[in-house]
Amino acid sequence: MELQEAIAQRRSIKIFKRDMNIDDNRLYEAIDNATDAPNHGLRQPWRIVHITKDRLGEMSKQLTKITFPDEPNKQKDHYDTVTNLGGMLALIVKEEPDVKDNLENHMAFGAFAQNLMLLLHEAGIGSCWKTPKYIFNNKDIGAIFNLAEDEKLVGFLYLTDLEVDMPHPKRKKQNFVQKF
Ligand SMILES: Cc1cc2nc3c(=O)[nH]c(=O)nc-3n(C[C@H](O)[C@H](O)[C@H](O)COP(=O)(O)O)c2cc1C
């Protein structure tokens, strides 16, 4: 697949109403190849926890016990949604005490994530990066994914097939480049 075609055609897949499966071997290959992302000092500041299809329900129960302790409807919604997925990735960044190093790590993670989403698209696996508020304001979630003190959960990648027709929101192409 041409690079420009992959960039233009990739889209965030946000429809999870059917039961879906993905090829985990293709997933692991894409994760390996995504590590060619630029990252300062070759710190490779990323870690991934793969929640396989058969473990999605268990993960959902552990997560929503913390995030929605008294809201059985929200627990059920989350369970019903994520158990349809082909899998999920917990996206984890290594944090640094130095502000510059830390910013570099987060930006490198973005480069890694875009590589990954493009490679998944090429491999026939859909994805959507999800950043629910509770991952940033609830420290207890870290234990589910064995987060170390210097690690931060920056989202989940929902993994799907590509059998839905998602609209691709057009970007504004004007006015953000000025000549010096
Ligand atoms: C860092 C990041 C966080 C995102 N968080 C969410 C989210 O919490 N929920 C969601 O539905 N989409 C999320 N998205 C997906 C964007 O909303 C999506 O990229 C946007 O709608 C453009 O669609 P496209 O990716 O199909 O071009 C996130 C994307 C990025 C890069």
Tokens of 98: 């130095």
Nearest to 60 by CA among 30, 39, 80: 80
Residue 108's pLDDT band (cuts 50, 70, 90): very high
Convert the pLDDT of each residue in 136-147 to its tens digit: 988 899 999 999
Burial of 70 (C-beta count, 10 Å sphere; 0-12/13-18/19+)? exposed
Mean per-residue pLDDT, 71-99: 98
Phi first, then psi: what are they for 96, rounded to 5°?
A: -120, 145
Domain 3-160: assigned CATH number: 3.40.109.10
Residue 125's pLDDT band (cuts 50, 70, 90): very high
Give the E-state strand segments of the chain in sequence order.
46-52, 87-94, 126-130, 151-160
Q: Which atom belonging to ligand 1 lies closest to the Cα atom of 155?
A: 3
Distance from C-alpha of 49 to C-alpha of 30, rounded to nearest angstrom: 14
Tell how far the Cα of 129 is from the centroid of ligand 1, in angstroms: 6
Burial of 121 (C-beta count, 10 Å sphere; 0-12/13-18/19+)? buried
> What's the one-letter identity of residue 1?
M
Which residue's C-alpha comes closest to atom 12 of ligand 1?
130
Domain positions in the chain: 3-160
Mean per-residue pLDDT, 25-41: 98
Mutate to test the pocket of ligand 1, among 109, 117, 120, 128 (most ligand atoms within 8 A of CB): 128
Q: Which atom belonging to ligand 1 lies closest to the Cα atom of 113?
A: 31
